[in-house]
Amino acid sequence: MKPSRDIQNLIDIMVALRNPVGGCPWDIKQTFATIAPYTIEEAYEVADAIERNDLTDLKDELGDLLLQVVYHARMAEELGSFDFGDVVRAITTKLIRRHPHVFDKSRALTPEEVKGLWNEIKAAERAEKREERLKAGFEPEQAPSLLDGIPAHLPALTRAEKLQSRASTVGFDWNNAELVLDKIREEIGEIEEAIKGGRQEEIVDEVGDLLFAVANLARHLHVDPEAGLRGTNLKFTRRFKYIEESLAVKDRSLEDATLDEMEALWIEAKTKAQG
């Protein structure tokens, strides 16, 4: 086989890799469960390339993510469930259904009407999916909830933002960011009380409440909490490496330095970044 721009070539390569006769031993033994962590990792690497504005890396990482889709589709095809074409059909059907104002020119909508229609369509899709699962033999779920369909395995901050956003569609929300800030102050006070009481389970619970409130603040300020935290992680890494490098120039290690020295270098790194 040779490299190609044709998606069918990628599908054929995956078929060859998974072939019990002559395929790759590692690929043959993989399952949905063993591949899922790689799928999540590849999605994060796509986000990382975007954060770094590295389009060369982005091209490669998108390819890696596409491979994950092909991989899962191939395993499903082997089970007689669906194939890559069905995946494409599902997403194209969904996109056309969710954008009638684009694909049905008789429906001119305002941005507000688009948002309202989007929520209505997604609610209808969730209801249809529940019916499909029942017909396929799955056990009936609990009573339908507005929060259904938000994946439990999303990063916690992302899921918090999505839960809050979904609840806000029926008015269950703070009116403005200032009220959320008040809630954050309240949660900090509750953490302080839990610390004084020395109750670890309560501390864990209150810290979770604080993080949930911070995610809510990010949503009100139109900030992606995951992107914001990734940026801070990168900033922390950059400044900490500056401390290490500055000490290394003096033939010293982190273990040799005092906290005051490291703090001074941290401020220096911060000042240089702002300059």
Contact status, residue 170 vs residue 146, Cβ threshold 8 Å: yes
Look at the pTM and tell me if it is higher than 0.75: no
Alpha-carbon Rg for the chain, nearest whole angstrom, is 25
Contact status, residue 254 vs residue 243, Cβ threshold 8 Å: yes
Q: How confident is the model at residue 267 (pLDDT cuts 50, 70, 90)?
A: very high
Q: At what angle do helices 55-78 and 84-98 cross, to 10 degrees?
A: 110
Question: Which of 15-24, 89-98, 124-133 shows the lowest per-residue confidence on average (mean pLDDT)?
Answer: 124-133
For residue 138, what is the DSSP state? P
Distances (CA, A) of 39 to 26, 77, 86: 16, 18, 19
Contact status, residue 94 vs residue 125, Cβ threshold 8 Å: yes
- 205-264: per-residue pLDDT in tens? 999 999 999 999 999 999 999 889 988 998 999 999 999 999 999 999 999 999 999 999
Q: What is the distance between the alpha carbons of residues 1 and 19, in angstroms, rounded to a whole number? A: 15
3-state secondary structure of 174: coil
Residue 157 identity (one-letter amino acid): L
Go through the domains of the chain in sequence order and give each one's CATH number: 7-135 (1.10.287.1080), 156-223 (1.10.287.1080), 227-274 (no CATH)
Residue 146 confidence (pLDDT): 85
Q: What is the distance between the alpha carbons of residues 70 and 87, in angstroms, rounded to a whole number? A: 9
Span 42-61, average pLDDT = 92
* Better pLDDT: 100 or 8: 8
Q: What is the distance between the alpha carbons of residues 42 and 46, in angstroms, rounded to a whole number? A: 6
Closest CA to 66 of 149, 7, 132: 7
Structure-token pair, residue 103: 């694909």
Q: What is the distance between the alpha carbons of residues 174 and 183, in angstroms, rounded to a whole number? A: 10
Span 167-173, average pLDDT = 93
Distance of CA 134 to the CA centre of its chain: 28
Across the chain, mean pLDDT equals: 90
Q: What is the distance between the alpha carbons of residues 74 and 48, in angstroms, rounded to a whole number? A: 27
